[in-house]
């Protein structure tokens, strides 16, 4: 579920580009790290998929680190969010604090706050956060 959300809202670029936050990115939103010089020349589809699954593994791990069992739809939506905002922002977020205490309605209401990149509200992030919120609440048709 999380991979489908990320593919849909990140899109695929086999050539490196600078994302709205100014980070060099490739594939399905993979931020190219300083030690990944080989990715600066671009990737093929297989490498983009490999990077996506690797990045989603850590995002899902971070999303599930809330001291409670999550429904699959909740974990998928949170993993998509963490993939996009990063684990540091996630750890300090009020959305995470709501999940930790079991306030899932409060958590759902927090998704819309994460709609900016580079200090600007981006229409694509507004749509993504609404889709993530709906998946979080069990509306799985947002994946189509």
pLDDT score, position 141:
64
Contact 52, 30 (CB under 8 A): yes
- Helix 123-136 to helix 72-85 angle (10° resolution) is 160
Tokens of 58: 């850590």
What would the pLDDT profile of 74-91 be if each residue is shown by its tens digit?
Answer: 999 999 999 999 999 999
The label of the residue with tokens 């600066």 reads 40
Contact 125, 115 (CB under 8 A): yes
- 122 has pLDDT over 90: yes
* pLDDT tier for residue 118 given thresholds of 50, 70 and 90: confident
Asked about 142 being catalytic, the answer comes back as no
* pLDDT tier for residue 34 given thresholds of 50, 70 and 90: very high
Q: H/E element holding 4?
A: helix 2-10
* pLDDT tier for residue 96 given thresholds of 50, 70 and 90: very high
**Active-site position among 10, 74, 132, 142:** 10
């Amino acid at each position: 579920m999380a991979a489908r959300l990320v593919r849909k809202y990140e899109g695929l670029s086999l050539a490196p580009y600078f994302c709205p936050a100014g980070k060099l990115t490739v594939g399905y939103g993979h931020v190219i790290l300083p030690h990944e010089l080989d990715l600066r020349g671009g990737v093929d589809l297989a490498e983009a998929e490999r990077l996506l699954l690797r990045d989603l593994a850590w995002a899902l791990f971070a999303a599930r680190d809330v001291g409670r069992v999550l429904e699959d739809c909740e974990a998928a939506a949170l993993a998509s969010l963490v993939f996009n905002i990063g684990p540091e922002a996630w750890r300090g977020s009020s959305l995470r604090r709501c999940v930790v205490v079991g306030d899932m309605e409060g958590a759902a209401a927090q998704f819309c706050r994460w709609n900016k990149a580079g200090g600007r509200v981006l229409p694509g992030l507004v749509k993504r956060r609404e889709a993530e919120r709906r998946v979080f609440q069990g509306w799985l048709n947002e994946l189509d």
